[in-house]
């Protein structure tokens, strides 16, 4: 059974003016779709077809010697995760247990934001910035190159930000810091992040 893409959780223009419709049309409609189509072609007729997407990602990671399937499978997973942690009129601040955990792990929300943006800024080339939770509720910021995801280290991400140039180039060109500020202040769906935190620490 080939995999399919979940629909975008909002309309293509719903994140305007923070992330343009044109960006979403390319990012979801072309990049994400192409990763899916390519992955499906690669796994057609193999035992990978019977796995969950996460199973395909972990299997193709092949303990650090990834097969050609990995780049596509991981990017399918990463992008679905990315859409789900943004919303129209996002931003603001987390509350409840997540807020407490952020304060406990980083000292303050501002300090978390600074570290998260620094991870995005210092991931040279293409990649992702992540907020990861362990079972005890300790949070850490990580960055990965290209398609790599904390899943392959057995970790549980609860938030991600795409820093491939295609995520921001139409909107702010080279100004990755501007994109990251906008993402953090205007796009993050803290409720979605909180739900993932709950699940990670359950």
Partner 1 sequence: MARIISYMNRFVIVAAAASALLACSAQAQIQQVALPYALDALEPEIDNATMNFHYGTHYATYVNNTLAALKNATDSGVRLPVATSNLTALISSIKRLPSPLNTTIRNQGGGAWNHALYFKHLTPPGSPATQSTAISAPLRDAINANFGSVDNMTAALSAAAGKVFGSGWAWLCYTGNSSADLAITTTPNQDNPLMGQLPGAPAVSAAGCTPILGIDVWEHAYYLKHGPKRPAYLESFWKVLNWQQVSKNYDSAVQGLELDLSEAAPRALEAPSKAVSAGSSSSGSAGFGAMAAAAAALLAVV
User: Binding site membership: which residues?
Assistant: 27, 79, 162, 166
**Residue choice 80, 146, 181, 201 for contact with partner 1 (CB under 8 A):** 146
Instruction: Give the nearer residue to partner 1 in terms of CB position, either 28 or 197.
Output: 28
Based on the shown chain and the rule CB under 8 A, indicate whether residue 59 belongs to the binding site for partner 1.
Answer: no
- Residue 167 CB, nearest approach to partner 1 (Å): 9
Instruction: Answer for the pair 194, 129: CB distance below 8 angstroms, yes or no.
Output: no
Based on the shown chain and the rule CB under 8 A, indicate whether residue 34 belongs to the binding site for partner 1.
Answer: yes
DSSP string, 110-159: HHHHHHHHHHHHHS-SSEEEEEEE-TT--EEEEEEETT--GGGGT-EEEE
28: tokens are 């979801």
User: Does 137 sit behind a cis peptide bond, omega within 30 degrees of 0 on the bond before it?
Assistant: no
Instruction: Please give the annotated binding residues for Mn(2+), written as ranges.
Output: 27, 79, 162, 166
Element (H, E) at 88: none
Q: Which of residues 81-110 bind partner 1 (CB under 8 A)?
A: none
Residues at the interface with partner 1 (CB under 8 A): 26, 30-31, 34, 71, 124-127, 145-147, 164-166, 169-170, 173-174
């Amino acid at each position: 059974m080939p995999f399919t893409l979940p629909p975008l959780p909002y309309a293509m223009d719903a994140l305007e003016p923070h992330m343009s419709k044109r960006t979403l049309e390319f990012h979801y409609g072309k990049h994400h779709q192409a990763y899916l189509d390519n992955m499906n072609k690669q796994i057609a007729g193999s035992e990978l077809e019977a796995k969950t997407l996460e199973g395909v990602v972990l299997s193709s990671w092949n303990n650090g010697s990834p097969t050609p399937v990995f780049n596509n499978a991981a990017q399918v997973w990463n992008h679905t995760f990315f859409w789900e942690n943004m919303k129209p009129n996002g931003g603001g601040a987390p509350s409840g247990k997540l807020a407490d955990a952020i304060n406990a792990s980083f000292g303050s929300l501002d300090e978390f934001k600074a570290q998260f943006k620094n991870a995005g800024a210092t991931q040279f080339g293409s990649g992702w910035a992540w907020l990861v939770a362990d079972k005890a509720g300790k949070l850490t910021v990580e960055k990965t190159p290209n398609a790599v995801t904390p899943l392959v280290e057995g970790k549980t991400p609860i938030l991600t930000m795409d820093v491939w140039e295609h995520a921001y180039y139409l909107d702010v060109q080279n100004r990755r810091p501007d994109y990251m500020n906008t993402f953090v202040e205007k796009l993050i769906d803290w409720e979605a992040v909180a739900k993932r935190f709950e699940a990670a620490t359950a």
